[in-house]
Structures are given as C-alpha cells and as structure tokens.
Amino acid sequence: MSVQVPSQVSRGAAARLLPLLLGLFMFGGPVGALDNGLALTPPMGWLHWERFMCNTDCRSDPDNCISEKLFMEMADIMATEGWLDAGYEYVCIDDCWPSAKRDARGRLQADPERFPSGIKALADYVHARGLKLGIYSDVGPTTCAGYPASYGSYELDARTFAEWGVDLLKFDGCNLQNISVLVEGYTNMSIALNGTGRPMVYSCEWPLYSWGEYIKPNYTQVRRYCNQWRNSADVEDSWESVRSLADWAANHQSLIVPVAGPGGWNDPDMLVIGNFGLSHSQQVTQMALWAIMAAPLIMSNDLRNLDGFSRNVLLNPHAIAVNQDPLGRQGTLVAKLKNNVDMWRRELAGGGMAVALVNRNQIGGPVLVNVSLSAWGLLGARVARACTPWCAVQVALPPGDATFLRLQGQAVRVAVNPTGAVLFTVRPHGGLPQPMVGVL
Amino acid sequence: MSVQVPSQVSRGAAARLLPLLLGLFMFGGPVGALDNGLALTPPMGWLHWERFMCNTDCRSDPDNCISEKLFMEMADIMATEGWLDAGYEYVCIDDCWPSAKRDARGRLQADPERFPSGIKALADYVHARGLKLGIYSDVGPTTCAGYPASYGSYELDARTFAEWGVDLLKFDGCNLQNISVLVEGYTNMSIALNGTGRPMVYSCEWPLYSWGEYIKPNYTQVRRYCNQWRNSADVEDSWESVRSLADWAANHQSLIVPVAGPGGWNDPDMLVIGNFGLSHSQQVTQMALWAIMAAPLIMSNDLRNLDGFSRNVLLNPHAIAVNQDPLGRQGTLVAKLKNNVDMWRRELAGGGMAVALVNRNQIGGPVLVNVSLSAWGLLGARVARACTPWCAVQVALPPGDATFLRLQGQAVRVAVNPTGAVLFTVRPHGGLPQPMVGVL
C-alpha cells in the first residue's frame, strides 16, 4: 500500500487526509487484526503507573495519590495545553483504582474515598473535554497490587466498563493460578469487550506473561484479539530500562514486527519523558525509538510539572507524524555502525523512510556519523527511489534542527550525543529541480 | 579543631577567613599529609578526559580534539564566566598530549601539531588568566593510550613540568610491567616533584591500581605522598557510574575516610555534570555527594556548551562551600532510611553539619522524607548542640530552595526525586531568640 503525498499539500493537511484514505482501504486494520475499528495508528495518551504507581495515601499526599482529582487535573491539562491537539487523547487509569470489594451486584466499583464521584462521572468529565478514558483490570482474580480483578467476571466487567463509558482497557496478567488459562482469559475478555457494542481499545499483557513462563506467544492470535500488547518488562525511569526495552524489540524483531500494523501494535510500555531519570539526550532517544517502533505513545509523567524541553520532545510534530504514519509499518534495527551507533529505519506512507541513529556510548562527546553512500545503501531501494533526483530530509529530533534537501548519494552528516539519538525522515520531493528549504 | 563562625560575619567573609585561620594551625595539612602546602581544600578545576577522551583528530573535529586551542578556550571561559571566581582554578590536560617521541635531550614534549606553542606557552596563557595548569603522565613506561610516560625518568619529567610552569600532575598507573614497582614509582615521583621546588598538586591513581591487583593499599602511605588519589573506576557519563562510585566510597568508608583531610583527598573522579548521560536530578546528586565526600571538584564537560541548569548546579555556592569546608572532614553514609533513601552527613567547621538525602529509586515520584526526631538523631550530638535552641537550615541543592530556621527537634520535611538528592546544611545560629531567614 502506497499513498503519494502531493507535495503541494501542507503536512498538516496530509496528516488529516491520509488516515481517511487508509480507512477506506483497511478499516479494522490488515487481515487478522481485532475487528473493533480502533487503534488504526498507535494509541496516544497518558497512564498513571510509572509516575504515580500505587500511591493511595491521599491524606498526606493529596496531589499525587490515585484519585479522581489526579485524572481530572491531567484531563484539564491535556485538553487545554496542546496535548489533545497533538494526538494524546486517552487519559488512563492503571492499578489501585478499585474498592477492595465488589458491590452488592458483584460489580467492580471504584474506591469510594478516592473516587467519590465514581468512574462514570470521571468518564463524563473526560469526554466533555474531547478526551477518552482508559481503565485497568487483570485476567486473574486480583490485580498485581491485590485489588479485585476480572477472573470469572469477564462479561460482567466488560459490560460495567461499557456502561461507565470507558474507551480503553489495560488488562494485566498477574495472579493467574494456572498459566494455561492465560490465552483463554485474554481471548474471552476480548470477546466480552466486543460483545458490549462499545468500542474499547484492548491493551493486553498476554505475550509478556507468556514469555514469563517460557512459552513463545502465538502473535497471530495475539493480534487477532488485542489492539496493543506488552512483550517485555515494565518501563522504569532510567536509561538502562529504555535501552533494554528497545534492545528487546531489536532482538525479537523478526518475530514481532510482521504482526504490527493498523489495529494492533507492539507496546514497549510508557514514555517516561519528563520525569527524573532520563537526561535530555535520553529523552530524545526514547521519543525517537518509540516513533520508529510504532509504539503506543502513552506518557506517564506529571503534566502539571513538565519542563519546556520535555514538553517539546513529547509534542514534536515530526516525531509524532512518524509514530502515527498511516502505513503503520513498525521499524527495525538495520545496522550497527562503527563507534557504537545503531541505525533504525521505518517505512512511511508515500515512499518515505524514517531513520533513527542512536549512540550507545556512555562516555565522551557526540559521535559524528556520516550517512554516506554505503550507509545510505542500508536504507534500501525505497530511499534510493525517493532521492532520485532530490529528497526532502527533515530532522525531527533533537528538536530545532532544519529541513534540508539532498541529492541522491549526498552524505548526511549528523552528530549524535552519547545515549542520544537523531531522528530524521527522507521523503520524495516530486522531482523539483531546485533545492528548497522548509517543504515537506 | 573547631572554629566558630561569628554569626554576624557574612558567609563570603567567613569563607575567606577560615582557610587563613586553619592555615596557621595546620599548614601542610594534618600529620602525615604530603608536605607541599597544597590542596588544603579539595582541588577544583577542569580536566579533558571524560568528555574529550583521546580525540586527536584535529582535521575533521578541530573544536574537540586534544590541542592547545581546546585548553585555551576552556581557560578563557573559566576566567571570564564565573568559574574561577567560584573556585575552579586548575585547567588540566589528561592523556594524549605528548608527541610519540621524547626530544633529543630525552624530555617529554607535546605533540607539535596539536600543541604548536608547547606546554610552557600554554602554562603562561593559563597563568595570565589567574588559572593553574595541570598535566598528565604515567608511572609506567607509556600512558594508558600508549604515549611516552615517566618510568625511568621521574626526576627529569618532574623538572620538565616545573620548568614549564605546571601546577598539577595527574599520574596514571597503566602499563607497569611489575606491580611491585607501583609503590616505588608513585613515591619516587612525589619526591621528584617536591625536589623541583615548584609546588605541584600530585594526583595519584595508586590505590586504584593496587586494588586492581587485589592488594589493599596502605592509605597512610598514600596520604603521605599524594594530594589526592583515585580508588575506584573511571567515571562515565551515566547514573550507573555516579551511583557506583558513591557506593564504592560508602562501602569502604571506614578505610578511606579517616585518611582524608587538608592536603590529601579521596578522589571519586570527575564531575560529569553538563554532559549527556545525567538527568537534572542525577546532576544534583553528583554535586551533592561530591560535596559531602570532600571530593576534588574536577569537571569534565564542554564549558562552551553548558545549559543553565548544569551551570547553576556546578556553581552552587552552598554546595561548593560544603565541599571546600576548611575543617576538611570527609562525610559518610550514616543511614539507609525507608523508601530506599540514603542519608549522608559531613561535619563542617563551626559546629555545623551538611546532610545529603539520596533517593535510590528509579521509578515513581518524589519520596517525602521527614527528618524527624529519630532521623535527626542520626545526625548526632553535634547537630543537637547546633540546634539548641535554634539552628539555621540552608537547602543547598536542588538550587533555589530557601533558608529557614529550625528549633531543636522540629522536623525537616523534604521531597527527594528518584535518583535525585537534597543537600542541606545545619549550622548553629548563635542563640538568637527570633527565627530569621537568610542568615547563615
């Protein structure tokens, strides 16, 4: 599938146009995707876990505990400070929201002290701001933190979530007493969600828990039932964690990349940009790699306290455009260049390519990378075609770098910081005879 | 030794006064220190290694290669942009400066292409700006990077350095063919340096190379011959590295802390603040711990490209005052508090104490630490005396927090970021009856 972006169309217009075009051809995603019409591009939003965890102490820490106040504050900011406009639309609750007991009718209910208005009211609040609400449960009898979960109540819980107006379910895999029911549990909840008639993104951890038992997941089956799925460990607020999640994806790319596409995505877990553990360069790298990997862009941070650098990385329109590219092809690691630099690439709609160079060194200064004829060759025939005679090269990250044009075969020279990345796109430029700047 | 800081004296005046007072009593440092009158407080400056390493490619990377231009540019910035005023006075060359061959008279000489004016001219340039010059050699026949070094030429090289006007020698320990000459080599170079009559700070790696051969160093002897000494691995531009260097010091504190003091210091290696691998919180932690550990404050970064945050951390006057405290007592890890927070403390001149709280978590949000009566007790009788009835508590890092006063027993409540630190001082406040703000 290839859609030519008319070069006279502005990027914004093209971004609006392409999902529509693609929607006509592939509603519900490629063959084998979950048939709920959702997640045609990777979901974007916010989830409380990495930053706020299971903080239920609203007495001494009222601003950071898991409560309706926290989600309402995040929703307000997402709606008014540019996040929704950029595509971040799901406000997601993770573990520790329920009351310790189901209600008299056996239904899950929110903790009455921390969510006094209940989840339906929170969903209304979120919807009124143009956002969507995500909730969390577990395939086992209790969640990872020990709250009531969905084992034996999949249909009831799916109906409850639908009645509340929930738009996404993150379904964890803790506390299954018998791993043999993992597949059954995840598929049954998928069927239950679809049975409600309410479209809800279904975010699974099925492969992760399968790998945990040394059982290779059936990814064709996973894709058939889930809109996104976690394969590897929970992200933490550290470079070590971000790097190891990307390494996991690279090491398993022949297995996991073919199954990703509109409707279903590999999920390397949350963006931790804007917290405490990543340097500026490392924040750039997480954004660049999550864009290349077609990963759900689910932030876990405190939007009330975010510095300008982190905000600019998370809202970078070029990086988001790569992530949301309607062709929906997940990128791969294509080469380990000299000086410890990794090269990743992702095919884009319209014959273009996104490229990320990641400097794995943890010492010294920036590495100068000459993407010369030979390295350019690593990008394949698609880029050769795109660059005959001219292509547009747009540096997306680090933010602030310019657009420029390149004749086929001309080297691109970039400096990549230790633990940092450079993300750029190469797109056909319609054969215009003159180099121009600022046209994509 | 206790020197009372008169409470009406400004902090700046006290900082100028105390070294003079102490100099009268302990010129050359406590018994057993190297008798060259130097390093009465931990040396402060800049060293090229961690950031610029052995980059000798001045053709394709002229701004970052090891050349006289690099050191002249750093000297200009140190002299004019507040670094020298804050105490950073040594501009230090590391490996890869020499020519591959000694000169016709057997003397070391600088690479003629990269240092066309020679080291003496560079020393003059540096001295003209009020700064001091550091140079580098090795106890073995060649440096770690393979350049000519001092084995068999200690006296000649010491005289050469003195003639050039060098003020500090970093003496590495690579390529010794027989570890048994390690002690002899380091002591002989010390004697050779002192024999020149020119005071030069002597920075050793003797303990590091001794540990490398599983031989516990004789720290009394090390202190007698060196002004500072490396014990543990080279620092890298990562949280993992900074944390592990502090952990090494904590794990060996009963051995290494007693020997530190005016004239001789344990050296956990360079400050990497302002580079690519540390988050803002982690930069605060390195500065806080290096202050508490009475470590030499030797930056390795690019002073030409430093963001405001890093600059403010490195120039933080309160953190520098802790580091340069004239009592010269190295601080220690005193407690592992709940929630994975480490508490460090360092005794200060005048009956005060510096305290660092370090949050070792790599996930979640800030940890609220209540330094309550019981935790306060960990700070010992010295703080109890200082806080009777009032003491002045100054938050040094993160920058920007206020001074406030505390009655004995009042809790201090701080939020410590994951991988971050809070550094504060507690000082006697002369028994004034009223709480005041801004007085130290």
Residue B434 pLDDT > 90, yes or no?
Answer: no
Q: How far is A310 from chain B (nearest CA, A)?
A: 12
Cβ of residue A62 closer than 8 Å to a chain B Cβ: no
Q: Which residue has the tokens 């990497």?
A: B272
What distance in Å separates the CA atoms of residue B339 and residue B341, rounded to the nearest whole number?
6
Q: Calculate the alpha carbon distances from A236 to A239, A269, A358 in Å.
A: 8, 9, 19
Of all residues in chain A, the percent with pLDDT exceeding 90 is 77
Residue B325's closest CA among B304, B298, B295, B302? Answer: B295
What percent of chain B shows pLDDT beyond 90? 77
| Average pLDDT value for residue range A376-402 | 79
* Rg of chain A over all Cα atoms, to the nearest angstrom: 22
Reported confidence tier of residue B7, pLDDT bands at 50, 70, 90: very low
Are the Cβ atoms of A237 and B362 closer than 8 angstroms?
A: yes
Q: State the pLDDT at residue A16.
A: 41
| CB contact at 8 A, B263 and B28 | yes
Given a contact cutoff of 8 angstroms between Cβ atoms, the answer to whether A223 and A259 are in contact is yes
Buried b / exposed e along A63-100 (16+ C-beta atoms within 10 A): ebbbbbbbbbebbbbbbeeebbebbbbbbbbbbbbbbe
State the first-to-last Cα distance of chain A, in angstroms, to the nearest integer: 20
CA B362 to chain centre: 26
- Which residues of B are identified as catalytic? 172, 234
Strands B201-204, B168-172: pairing kind: parallel
With CB atoms and an 8 Å threshold, state whether A239 touches B277. Answer: yes
Strand segments, DSSP code E, in B95-213 are 132-138, 168-172, 201-204
DSSP state of B6: P
Position of tokens 């750029």?
A424
DSSP type of residue B40:
S
A53 interface with B at CB cutoff 8 Å: yes
- Burial grade of A427 (CB within 10 A; 0-12, 13-18, 19 or more): buried
A398-402, B22-26, B237-241, B307-311: range with lowest mean pLDDT:
B22-26
Q: Tell me the torsion sign for CA atoms A6, A12, A18, A20.
A: negative
CA distance B359 to B421: 6
Residues 6+ apart with CB under 8 A from B259: B32, B219, B220, B222, B223, B266
Average pLDDT of every residue of chain B: 89
Check CB contact under 8 Å for B279 and A282. Answer: yes
State the pLDDT at residue A389: 74
Q: How many Cα atoms are found within 13 Å in the side-chain-facing hemisphere of A272?
A: 30
C-alpha B359, offset from chain centre: 22
pLDDT at B240 over 90: yes
CB A365 to CB B52 under 8 A? Answer: yes
Mean pLDDT in residue range B13-31: 42
Residues of B in contact with A239 (CB under 8 A): 238-239, 277
pLDDT of residue A312: 97
Q: Which of these, B276, B372, B50, lies nearest to A417 by C-alpha position?
A: B276
pLDDT of res. B440: 27
Measured N-to-C along each axis, helices A154-164 and A118-128 cross at an angle, to the nearest 10 degrees, of: 50
State residue B122 phi and psi, 5-degree precision: -65, -40
Residues 180-199 on A with a CB inside 8 Å of B are none
- CA B433, chain centre distance (Å): 38
Identify the CA nearest to A254 among candidates A332, A348, A345, A327: A332
Q: Chain A residues with CB inside 8 Å of B274's CB?
A: none
Q: Does B275 touch chain A (CB under 8 A)?
A: yes
Q: Are A314 and A62 in contact (CB under 8 A)?
A: no
Can you give the pLDDT at residue B24? 39
Read off the pLDDT band of B436 (50, 70, 90). Answer: very low
CB contact under 8 A, A363 and B279: no
CA–chain centroid gap for B351, Å, is 23
Q: What is the mean pLDDT of residues B10-15?
A: 38
SS3 label, residue B340: helix
More confident residue, A29 or B142: B142
pLDDT band at A271 (very low <50, low <70, confident <90, very high): very high
Whose tokens are 């130290």? That residue is B440
Rg of chain B in Å (alpha carbons):
22
Q: What is the pLDDT of residues A61-103, one digit of tens each?
A: 999 999 999 999 999 999 999 999 999 999 999 999 999 999 9
State if pTM tops 0.80.
Answer: yes
Chain A residues within 8 A of B61 when measuring between CB atoms: 368
What six digits make up the tokens of A59?
């007495």
pLDDT tens for each residue of A178-208: 888 999 999 999 999 999 999 999 999 999 9
A363 in reach of chain B (CB within 8 A): yes
Residues β-bridged to residue A393:
A404, A426
Distance of CA B406 to the CA centre of its chain: 30
Return the pLDDT at A375. Answer: 66
Question: Does residue B395 or residue B1 have the better pLDDT?
Answer: B395
Size of interface A-B (CB pairs under 8 A): 93
Residue contact B419–A279, C-beta within 8 A? no
Given a cut of 80, whether residue B12 has pLDDT beyond it is: no
Task: Give the pLDDT band (50/70/90) at residue B407.
Answer: low
Q: How much of chain A, in percent, has pLDDT values that exceed 70?
A: 87
B333: nearest Cα among B411, B265, B266, B249? B249
Residues 6+ apart with CB under 8 A from B344: B250, B289, B292, B331, B332, B333, B334, B355, B356, B357, B358
pLDDT tens-digit map of A315-348: 999 999 999 999 999 999 999 998 999 999 999 9
The residue in chain A having the minimum alpha-carbon distance to the alpha carbon of residue B48 is A364
A286–chain B Cβ distance below 8 A for any pair? no
User: Which residues in chain A have Cβ-Cβ distances shorter than 8 Å to B303?
Assistant: none
Q: pLDDT tens digits, residue range B299-357?
A: 999 999 999 999 999 999 999 999 999 999 999 999 999 999 999 999 999 999 999 99
Max Cα separation, chain B?
Answer: 73
CA distance B11 to B322: 12
* Burial of B101 per CB tally in 10 Å (0-12, 13-18, 19+): exposed
Question: What pLDDT score does A107 carry?
Answer: 98
Average pLDDT over residues A156-162: 98
Rounded Cα gap, residues A86 and A238, in angstroms? 25
How far apart are alpha carbons A191 and A194 in whole angstroms? 5
Spatial separation of the C-alpha atoms in residues B253 and A228, rounded to whole Å: 49
Alpha carbon of B368: minimum distance to chain A alpha carbons (Å):
9
Can you tell me the distance from the alpha carbon of A59 to that of A115, in angstroms, rounded to the nearest whole number? 14
Residues 6+ apart with CB under 8 A from B116: B68
B40 neighbors B263 (Cβ within 8 angstroms) = yes
Predicted confidence at residue B408, as pLDDT, reads 56
Secondary structure (3-state) at B298: strand
- Cα A114 to the center of its chain, rounded Å: 28
For residue A127, give Cα distances in angstroms to A84, A93, A124, A130, A132.
12, 15, 5, 5, 6
Structure tokens at B163: 């003639």
CB atoms within 10 A of CB A12: 10
Residue A406: pLDDT band (50, 70, 90) is: low
Residue in the block written with tokens 């390529």: B175
Residue among B53, B64, B244, B279 with most chain A CBs within 10 A, to mutate: B279
CB A200 within 8 A of CB A167: yes
Torsion sign, CA atoms B178, B180, B186, B188: negative
d(CA A118, CA A97): 10
* Residue contact B363–A50, C-beta within 8 A: yes
Is B276 in the A-facing interface, judged by CB distances under 8 Å? yes
The residues, any chain, with a CB within 8 Å of residue A175's CB and separated by 6 or more, are A138, A140, A141, A142, A143, A144, A149
Q: Check whether B231 has a pLDDT greater than 80.
A: yes
pLDDT (mean) for A344-370: 95
CA angle A328, A237, A78 (to 5 degrees): 60
Q: Would you state the pLDDT for residue B16?
A: 41
Any chain A CB within 8 A of the CB of B403?
no
DSSP conformation class of B110: B
- Residue of A52, A279, A365 with shortest CB distance to B279: A279
Q: Which helix (H) or strand (E) holds B229?
A: strand B228-230
| Beta strand pairing call for B367-371 and B332-337 | unpaired
List chain B residues with CB under 8 Å of A50: 363-364
| The predicted structure's pLDDT at residue B403 | 61
| Closest chain A CA to residue B64 | A365
Nearest to B237 among A61, A278, A363 (CB): A363
Task: Answer yes or no: do A277 and B302 touch at CB < 8 A.
Answer: no
Lowest mean pLDDT among A260-264, A365-369, B220-224, B426-430: B426-430
Minimum Cα–Cα distance from B51: chain A residue: A364
B104 Cα distance to chain centroid? 37
Q: Which residue of A has its CA nearest to B282?
A: A277
What's A16's DSSP letter?
A: H
- Top-confidence residue, B273 or B389: B273
